Structures are given as structure tokens and as C-alpha cells.
Amino acid sequence: MKRSLNSIKKIALAAALIVTVGVTSSFANDRNDVIKASFQKDFQKAELIEMKSSQSYTQLTFKMNDMVMFAFYNDNGELLAVTRNIKSNQLPIQLLLDLKRDYKNYWITDLFEFNGDGTNSYYVTVENADGTVTLRADNSTSWQLFSKKNK
């Protein structure tokens, strides 16, 4: 009798785990379906490449007009931001000139355009032997220090 009671407990525990995994998976699938529907509405001619979820947002990598871009959505399917990697020659002229003047002894390791909350911003990360600097420019005006890290 004791042995069958332990077997019943094990079966009940396994069933509870299966139900929990199923409910969690179902919630994730529902969230993904909502986000995919919003994405298809927002970017009708885009080709979805990849979808990655985190606790606070879901990132969709997609291709549109021969450009790879990234869209960020919350769990309710609301578009938070869109980013795309760019080349330095795609920066507004004044930002490019300021970057070349003020950071001539650095090389660019990351550069992207950010569009979210109705604003357009640029982020650039430059690096040299001493450290890494990330700059931000809102509405193409001028660079501001976003973060700095010494090596």
C-alpha cells in the first residue's frame, strides 16, 4: 500500500508539471500570436527572420526593402521601437563631422538608428585601446555621452 501511495504521488506530481508546462507554453504561444499579428499589420511587406522573447519585450528580426531591421514589442503586441544598423556615411552630415573630429582616434564598433516614442535617435559605440564610449544623438542635433567604459 505504501509503495502504491508513493507511485500515486509521483504520478500526481508529474501530471501537475505537465499541466504547468502546458499552461506556460500556451501563454507564450498566445503572446507570440498577438505579437506576430501586430507585426504583420505594422510591416505588411516584411519577411520575418527571427523572434526572440525576454521578460520585458520580444525582438523580431526582419527584412524589408533589402534592409535587416529589428522591431521590439511588449506582451500586448504594442510596437515599442524599431532599429536598424547603419553605416557611418548614412549619419546626418553634422553628426558624422562631429564624430570624425571628436573621436578621430577611435574606431566604430556599433552604429544604429533608433525610432521609438516618436523620436529618431542615433547610437554609436566607438573604441580605442583605452576604452569604449557610446554616444547618443536625438533628432540629428549633436552627440551626448550615453556610457563610457575604461579597459
Domains for the chain: give ranges and CATH numbers.
Answer: 2-84 (3.10.450), 86-150 (3.10.450)
Q: State how far the Cα of 111 lies from the Cα of 125, in Å rounded to an integer.
A: 6
- The pTM for the full model equals 0.74
For residue 84, which of 60, 113, 56 has the smallest C-alpha distance? 113
What is the tens place of the pLDDT at every residue in 61-102?
999 999 999 999 999 999 999 999 999 999 999 999 999 999
- Does 36 score more than 50 pLDDT? yes
